[in-house]
Amino acid sequence: MSTPVSNRKYGAQKIRLTILCARNLVRRDLFRLPDPFAKISVDGSGQVYSTNAVKATLDPKWNTHYDLYLTKGDGITISVWNQRKVHKRQGSGFLGCVRIQPSTVHKLKDTGYQCLELCEDGSGETCGVRGQVIVSLLSRDGARGEPASAA
């Protein structure tokens, strides 16, 4: 099965992102636990993926992986949302996010699971947000879309 054209970029590297779990999420509702899911996006490329929601927990376990196609300037944003609240008001289901800068993507690649602190908007501010997300980035098959060399 071929990769959709929208996911292909000349010189893009295939990276497998595994999102294992989140821990210690903030409880915004007094009487109910959230149904968290994670949204993964490659900044500026149109690649967007979502995990399944896990019912009634502050410590969801997803253990899912996604193959992302990244160029040198691409960062990754992982945001965590409460599925129960996401459609009620703009931003009302937001539980936190982490932005992995392009330079950090290459530092974290092939280093095992990493615990990343959730923040308000990717800037590092944690006002009203708590928790961590555990991820792994692995190199896959090298560059894509480069012309074959004449032999």
Q: Average pLDDT over the chain, rounded to whole?
A: 86
- Output the pTM of the full model: 0.83
Do the Cβ atoms of 39 and 49 come closer than 8 Å? yes
Please state the domain extents for the chain.
Answer: 13-139
- pLDDT at residue 11, as a whole number: 82
More confident residue, 71 or 44: 71
Do the Cβ atoms of 148 and 91 come closer than 8 Å? no
Tell me the mean pLDDT in the region 46-71.
Answer: 97
Strand ranges for the chain from DSSP E:
12-23, 36-42, 48-50, 61-70, 76-82, 94-100, 114-117, 132-144
Output phi, psi for 103, to 5 deg. -65, -35
Tell me which architecture the domain covering 13-139 has in CATH.
Sandwich (2.60)
Nearest to 82 by CA among 22, 17, 18: 22
